[in-house]
């Protein structure tokens, strides 16, 4: 099955912030793919899940999303077409089963979004396997450039003949507004667009021992997380007691919903939960069960509700928010207080034109600025939008660093051959080590009052238009 759908959802840092493995370090928690962008390469996200059919056949369902704006197109008779191949490899971890499926597709695009288009080509593949644990690798090749990208996941399929209780991975699906007649489609990323209409969570429970009824407990949790934009470089460092320093509180979640179900019938049962669109924030849908004397079984799906077009910047308010890095904070608050979108758009235009002056030059500066914002979203997204993080702010203002050094919980960005010059070398520290319980990189800039002139100079480069010829 293949389709084109709108999915609202550079490489020097891609390996640092994006992971090729879809599943988290905790095998019981699925988090979807984080964004992965490599200049000149196709951009791809994928997810896989093991399940049993109605006739107890073992299956792996694989969904692959390829971002249209990342492909190379050829034009014939005003029709832009890209050619890609998708190869799916399934390998049993402790067994001899393996299978490879490969397809070639021609993808047409009206290209209204150009190279920043976040629309995706989606391919769904269901592969028959045997019960067990499998590694799943998907490779996408742009046949025009010959460049390829691969991502990996895993899938576990229970043995229907095994009397032990089993619980599959939780899968997240969604449906867009006005798509009541269409099926839910899988969400392959950690982030979810707030423009979607509803969410669906599905998982499968297998129980062949009916001496005791099976109790399935589910909860929808919301985690308190920092959602503020990065503070200026010359401000005080974050206090360890603040949420901005901690990032996200995963120890004391709010329970949004909880349900307990009893299963009396034997065999494999597919269970689904549906919710309307949730407010923006960080969530976990979790299920657990215990039958008889068996051990506790637990599975979960983490996700975050972001802006309508994330990671792209499209509507008026999305364009206005990142201007906080170029404006006085009070002036920015006054701009964001404008409720009418048309008036807000006029205020944004006035800001750029009154500063840059030339309309043509302003257009080029605007394109560069929001290109940086989108790239920051793709590289630094964690519990909050990538442009709001400290690395995101620095990337937007200064561009990609020349060098990146990392050791333990410290990261250093250098914009000079002189790696000791404080004007061109910036240090980030990570309060929480990334692990199975805290899956995010939350690097915070070590701020200094001496950075006032450095940031002021950089803002002047942007507002004067000189950023087009002088970066730092």
Domain co-membership, 299 together with 397:
no
What pTM, to 2 d.p., does this model score? 0.87
Cβ–Cβ < 8 Å for 302, 284: yes
In a domain, 53, yes or no: yes
What is the model's pLDDT at position 159?
Answer: 84
Instruction: Say if 311 falls within a structural domain.
Output: no
- Residue 16: its pLDDT value, please? 42
Q: State yes or no: pLDDT of 411 exceeds 80.
A: yes
Per the CB < 8 A criterion, the answer to whether 385 and 377 are in contact is yes
- For residue 147, the model assigns a pLDDT of 94
3 state SS of 235: coil
Q: Are 310 and 385 in contact, with CB atoms under 8 Å apart?
A: yes
Q: Is 124 helix (H, G, I), strand (E, B) or coil?
A: strand
Cα–Cα distance for residue pair 20/36, rounded to 1 Å: 8
**Residues with Cβ within 8 Å of residue 162, at least 6 apart in sequence:** 131, 206, 208
Q: Are strands 297-306 and 29-30 parallel, antiparallel or unpaired?
A: parallel
**Where a domain ends, among 277, 306, 335?**
306
> What is the rounded CA–CA span in Å between residue 157 and residue 135?
12
Residues 250-304: tens digit of each pLDDT: 888 999 999 998 887 777 888 999 999 999 999 999 999 875 566 788 999 999 9
Give the model's pLDDT for residue 110. Answer: 67
Q: Is 94 helix (H, G, I), strand (E, B) or coil?
A: coil
- The CATH number for 178's domain is 2.60.40.3880
pLDDT at 210: 62
Q: How far apart are the first and last CA of the chain?
A: 48
Same domain? For 106 and 80 the reply is yes
Top pLDDT among 295 and 469 is at 469
Query: 360 and 441 share a domain?
Result: yes
What does the pLDDT read at residue 194?
Answer: 92
Are 281 and 361 found together in one domain?
no
Whether residue 204 is found in the same domain as residue 103: yes
Q: How many Å separate Cα 380 from the centre of its chain?
A: 9
Q: How far apart are CA 463 and CA 2, in angstroms?
A: 45
Domain span at residue 6? Answer: 2-306
Average pLDDT, the chain: 87
**Least confidently predicted of 113-127, 333-347, 419-433:** 113-127
Considering the domain architecture, whether residues 334 and 194 belong to the same structural domain is answered as no
What's the number of domains the chain is made of?
2
Same domain, 97 and 122: yes
Q: 300 and 336, same structural domain?
A: no
């Amino acid at each position: 099955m293949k389709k084109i759908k709108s999915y609202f959802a550079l490489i020097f840092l891609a390996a640092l912030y994006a992971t090729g493995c879809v599943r988290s370090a905790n095998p019981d928690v699925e988090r979807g793919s984080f964004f992965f962008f490599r200049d000149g390469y196709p951009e791809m996200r994928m997810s896989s899940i093991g399940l049993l059919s109605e006739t107890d056949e073992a299956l792996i369902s694989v969904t692959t999303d390829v971002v249209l704006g990342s492909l190379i197109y050829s034009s014939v008779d005003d029709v832009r077409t890209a050619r890609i191949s998708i190869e799916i490899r399934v390998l049993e971890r402790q067994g001899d089963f393996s299978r490879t499926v490969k397809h070639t597709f021609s993808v047409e695009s009206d290209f209204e979004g150009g190279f920043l288009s976040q629309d995706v080509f989606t391919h769904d593949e269901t592969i028959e396997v045997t019960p067990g644990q499998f590694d799943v690798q998907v490779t996408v090749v742009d046949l025009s450039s010959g460049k390829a990208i691969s991502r990996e996941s895993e899938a576990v399929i229970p043995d229907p003949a095994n009397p032990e209780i089993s619980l599959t991975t939780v899968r997240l699906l969604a449906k867009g507004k006005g798509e009541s007649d269409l099926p839910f489609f899988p969400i392959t990323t950690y982030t979810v667009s707030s423009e979607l209409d509803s969410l669906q969570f599905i998982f499968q429970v297998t129980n062949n021992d009916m001496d005791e009824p099976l109790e399935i407990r589910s909860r929808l949790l919301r985690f308190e997380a920092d959602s503020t934009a990065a503070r200026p470089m010359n401000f005080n460092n974050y206090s360890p007691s603040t949420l901005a320093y901690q990032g996200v509180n995963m120890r004391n979640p709010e329970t949004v919903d909880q349900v307990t179900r009893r299963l009396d019938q034997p065999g494999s049962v597919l269970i689904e939960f549906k919710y309307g669109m949730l407010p923006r924030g960080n969530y976990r849908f979790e299920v657990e069960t215990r039958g008889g004397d068996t051990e506790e079984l637990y599975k979960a799906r983490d996700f975050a509700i972001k802006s309508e077009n994330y990671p792209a910047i499209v509507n008026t308010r999305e364009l206005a928010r990142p201007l906080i890095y170029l404006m006085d904070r009070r002036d920015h608050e006054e701009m964001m207080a404008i409720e009418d979108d048309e008036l807000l758009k006029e205020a944004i235009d006035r800001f750029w034109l009154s500063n840059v002056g030339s309309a043509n030059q302003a257009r080029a500066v605007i394109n560069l600025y929001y290109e940086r914002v989108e790239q920051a979203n793709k590289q630094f997204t964690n519990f909050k939008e990538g442009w709001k993080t400290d690395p995101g702010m620095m990337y937007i203002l200064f561009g990609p660093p020349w060098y990146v050094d990392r050791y333990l919980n410290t990261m250093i960005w250098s914009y000079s051959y002189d790696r000791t010059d404080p004007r061109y070398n910036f240090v980030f520290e990570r309060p929480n080590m990334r692990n199975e319980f805290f899956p995010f990189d939350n690097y915070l800039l070590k701020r200094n009052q001496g950075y006032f002139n450095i940031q002021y100079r950089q803002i002047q480069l942007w507002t004067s238009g000189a950023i087009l010829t002088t970066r730092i």
